[in-house]
Amino acid sequence: MAKRPQLLPYAARPDFKVGRATELSGKNRAFYRFLEILPGAASWLSLIAMVLASIYTPFFAAYFIIAFSVYWVLKTAFLSYHLRHNWRRLKVHMAMDWSAMIERFECSHLYHLVILPFYNEPEAVIDASLASLANARYDKKSMIVVLAREERAGEPARIAAERMREKWSGTFGSFLVTAHPGDIEGELAGKGSNATWAAEEARRKILDPHGIRYNHTLVSIFDIDTVVYPDYFNCLVWHFMTARRPLKSSFQPVPVFNNNIWEASALARVVAMSSTFWEMVQQERPERMATFSSHSVSFQALYEIGYWQTNMVSEDSRIYWNLLIANDGEYDVVPLSYPVSMDANTAPTFWGTIKNIYKQHRRWTYGVENLVYLIFHFTKNKAIPLRRRIIIALQQFEGYWSMVTNPIMLIILGWAPIFFGGRVFHETVLSYNLPIVVRDLLILAMFGLVVSSMISLTLVPERPDGRGRHLWLVMALQWILVPFTMVVFSALPGLDAQTRLMFGRYMGFWVTPKARDREEESEERAAVA
């Protein structure tokens, strides 16, 4: 392995970028394998325990379910409080003039390296993203745009990239098209390996030749459907300049999946908005945050750990754990509370949409591989304070466990004692009151959805021509689908992902199909944004 002196000491460890147990040996391999089994086993055991308790100790199960339902209501209230606050912050941030905000800083030395990895997405999607960059209220000459294609995507991707270069290269300071080879040994085909290739290419071909300092370069790694709002880079710079440790921070915008919200089905909209809301909640508790999807980070921080991992799926969050661990815990996520628009997951057919959403969420929830990674390295990197390691590990574990088990326990297994509890339990008032109490508590929790519904309406772009006014009503009422989407698009794909990891059936990167009904509309939206 080539010696890379720029790497932080911990990042130079051979196991720093471990992707799975099979890449290790000896005790480390066994321990990593144990950790891979742990999340799935915990989830399955919880669900099985719930069923067994319903059969053998139905009274205990009933009391537990009631307590769990109360917990759920209070958790909903707790999260709604965060969501509402972040929504207000988001609205204020969107209304603010960030270019005026950064006037007090000397930031002309900063460069923005925007990496846009893509595979086979339609040209209209790429074009809309580039158009939004071009419309950003920021000095475009300080922007370096890297359109990172995959060589294995073949000729169509190359042609699309060249067309984009022709159209946009004059707009930005630099415009680089990179082609990630498909045959690099040890790599898993995916966004991480493509982005890593693109970052290194940009360093070699642009930063170094132009003498651009790494600590003066902010990397924005965007999914290809990311449409930035006009003040994104101003907002980013303000947060960078005011951050406690700007070079040891990642900057996380709010991904609002509303590019194609008017074309998406109600199901796709609810799932997309739910993802947005979750990120909004996380923005208010940054100590539990990891980076997700499109975000920004200093080039130096990336360079010090050798960029993204190329051997795993959820590189968008993994990069944060890489940075946290390599920097001995001295690393932050700074929430921007400023949006970037992305595509809601949709397909031409209803079943296609369901399939796509399920697969996308399975990929997202496969982020449980990060839990394995961070616990493994928390046992190795003693420079991180023990308390912090324990708290982060428990928070992440609880997050992945509750995401999979809570909806199933509440919505499906909550009724198990009634069906499995047997005759003695069935004749009790408790048996009859259990569904009533749980139902009433869930209805109470549904009031949180009213907040969600109202907030979602404020994040929807202007209604395009040809879309009926009644869709506003549909968008308000669509939130009654949440109990269904929680189980089908959160718990089940999460359980699927954890089970795959548990059995060592490691997942590959699944590229979410992107589609735009109306290309011109996308361009207009980018222009409006």
Partner 1 sequence: MEQSEYVKPLPYNSRRNLFAFLVIVFLVVLPFLYLYATGYRFDFAKPTNIVSTGGIYVAADRTGAQIYIDDELVRETRAFRQAFYAQNLDVGTHRVHVQKDGHHTWVKELPVSEHLVTEAAAFNMPLIPDARLIAKWDTATGSPVVKSEIAYPHVVNAYVATTTKPTAASFKLDQEYTSLMAHFASTSTSTASRETTAEYLRGLLTGGGATTTDEATSTKISSGVRLALEGDDLFATWVGPFEQMPYYYCAPTFPPYSTSTPAISSAVTTPAVRQDVDPDGLVMHPVQAVPAGAACDPTVKMDRKGETLRAFDFYPGSTDLILEVLEDGIYVVEIDDRGWQNMQPLMEGRDLDLYIENGNVFVYDGSLIYQILLQSE
Only segment of 31-39, 264-272, 295-303, 426-434 that touches partner 1 (CB under 8 A): 426-434
Q: State which residue, 118 or 233, has the beta carbon closest to partner 1.
A: 233
- Distance, in Å, from the CA atom of 493 to the CA atom of 499, rounded to the nearest integer, reads 10
User: Binding to partner 1 by residue 458, rule CB under 8 A?
Assistant: no
The single residue among 42, 134, 437, 471 that binds partner 1, judged by CB under 8 A, is 437
Q: State which residue, 266 or 442, has the beta carbon closest to partner 1.
A: 442
User: Binding to partner 1 by residue 459, rule CB under 8 A?
Assistant: no
Q: How far is the CB of 249 from partner 1 (least distance, A)?
A: 14
Only segment of 84-92, 210-218, 259-267, 312-320 that touches partner 1 (CB under 8 A): 84-92
Note the residue count of the chain: 529
User: Binding to partner 1 by residue 78, rule CB under 8 A?
Assistant: yes
Only segment of 71-79, 218-226, 366-374, 484-492 that touches partner 1 (CB under 8 A): 71-79
518 in helix, strand or coil? coil
User: Binding to partner 1 by residue 406, rule CB under 8 A?
Assistant: no
Residue 287: name the closest of 191, 382, 387, 212 by CA: 387
Element (H, E) at 249: strand 249-256
User: Inter-axis angle of helices 26-56 and 492-502, to 10 degrees?
Assistant: 130
Only segment of 16-24, 284-292, 314-322, 356-364 that touches partner 1 (CB under 8 A): 284-292
# of chain residues touching partner 1 (CB under 8 A): 39
Only segment of 69-77, 262-270, 384-392, 410-418 that touches partner 1 (CB under 8 A): 69-77
User: Binding to partner 1 by residue 296, rule CB under 8 A?
Assistant: no
- Please state the φ and ψ torsions of residue 519, each to the nearest 5 degrees: -65, -40
344 alpha-carbon distance from chain centroid: 13
Residue 291: name the closest of 334, 349, 239 by CA: 334
Q: State which residue, 349 or 433, has the beta carbon closest to partner 1.
A: 433
User: Binding to partner 1 by residue 41, rule CB under 8 A?
Assistant: no
The tokens for 519 are 């290309």
The tokens for 113 are 């390296």
User: Binding to partner 1 by residue 510, rule CB under 8 A?
Assistant: no
The single residue among 66, 94, 411, 460 that binds partner 1, judged by CB under 8 A, is 66
User: Do 303 and 203 meet the contact criterion of CB atoms below 8 Å apart?
Assistant: yes
User: Do 448 and 80 meet the contact criterion of CB atoms below 8 Å apart?
Assistant: yes
Q: How far is the CB of 2 from partner 1 (least distance, A)?
A: 41
DSSP structural state of residue 379: T
Q: How far is the CB of 366 from partner 1 (least distance, A)?
A: 28
Q: How far is the CB of 367 from partner 1 (least distance, A)?
A: 23
Q: In the block, which residue shows the tokens 């917990």? A: 71
Q: How far is the CB of 227 from partner 1 (least distance, A)?
A: 23
User: Binding to partner 1 by residue 427, rule CB under 8 A?
Assistant: yes
User: Binding to partner 1 by residue 246, rule CB under 8 A?
Assistant: no
Q: How far is the CB of 407 from partner 1 (least distance, A)?
A: 20
244 in helix, strand or coil? coil
Residue 339: name the closest of 86, 58, 34, 79 by CA: 86
User: Binding to partner 1 by residue 71, rule CB under 8 A?
Assistant: yes
- Distance, in Å, from the CA atom of 334 to the CA atom of 244, rounded to the nearest integer, reads 9
Restricted to residues 326-355, the positions that interact with partner 1 (CB under 8 A) are 335, 337
C-alpha distances (whole Å) from 265 to each of 116, 343, 348, 472, 481 are 27, 13, 10, 13, 12
The single residue among 62, 124, 404, 529 that binds partner 1, judged by CB under 8 A, is 62
The single residue among 429, 470, 505, 520 that binds partner 1, judged by CB under 8 A, is 429
Q: How far is the CB of 436 from partner 1 (least distance, A)?
A: 8
Q: State which residue, 39 or 417, has the beta carbon closest to partner 1.
A: 417
The single residue among 82, 167, 380, 518 that binds partner 1, judged by CB under 8 A, is 82
User: Do 197 and 149 meet the contact criterion of CB atoms below 8 Å apart?
Assistant: no
Buried b (16+ CB within 10 A) or exposed e, 101-131: bbeeeeeeebbbbbbbbbbebbbbbbbbbbb
How far is the first Cα of the chain from the last one, in angstroms, to the nearest whole number? Answer: 46
Q: State which residue, 350 or 432, has the beta carbon closest to partner 1.
A: 432
Q: What is the DSSP string of 146-169?
A: EEEEEGGGHHHHHHHHHHHHHHHT
Strands 217-221 and 111-117 come out as parallel
User: Binding to partner 1 by residue 77, rule CB under 8 A?
Assistant: yes
User: Binding to partner 1 by residue 283, rule CB under 8 A?
Assistant: yes
Q: State which residue, 443 or 527, has the beta carbon closest to partner 1.
A: 443
- Distance, in Å, from the CA atom of 273 to the CA atom of 125, rounded to the nearest integer, reads 20
User: Binding to partner 1 by residue 431, rule CB under 8 A?
Assistant: yes
Interacting residues with partner 1 (CB under 8 A): 62-63, 66-67, 70-71, 74, 77-78, 81-82, 85-86, 88-89, 92-93, 96-97, 100-101, 283-286, 335, 337, 422-424, 427-434, 437
